[in-house]
A and B are shown apart, each in its own frame.
Chain A
Amino acid sequence: MENEQLAQILSELFPASEIITTQNPIRIKVDPVLIHSVASVLRNDKRLQFDYLFNLYGIDREDRFSIVYYMESTELKHIVSVETDLADHDQPVVDTVSDLWITAQYQEREIYDLMGVTFTNHPDPRRLFLEDGWGFPLRKDYKDDINFIER
Chain B
Amino acid sequence: MPFNIYDFSTTTKAIDTFLKTNMSPTWAFVTELAIVGLIILIFYAIIGLYLVYAERKVCAFMQNRVGPNRVGKWGLIQTIADLIKLLMKELITIRKADKLLFNIAPFIVIIASFMAIAAIPFAKGLHAVDFNIGVFYMMAVSSIGVIGILLAGWSSNSKYSLIGAMRSGAQVVSYELSVGLALLSVVIFSGSMQLSTIIESQANGWWIFKGHLPAIISFVMFLIASTAEINRGPFDLAEAESELTAGFHTEYSGIRFAFFFLGEYMNMFIVASLAATVFLGGWMPLHIGNLEGFNHVMDFIPPIVWFFGKTIFVIYVIMWFKWTFPRLRIDQLLTLEWKYLLPINLVNIIVIAFIVLMGWYIK
> Do any beta carbons of A and B sit within 8 angstroms of each other in the complex?
no
Residues of A within 8 A of B (CB): none
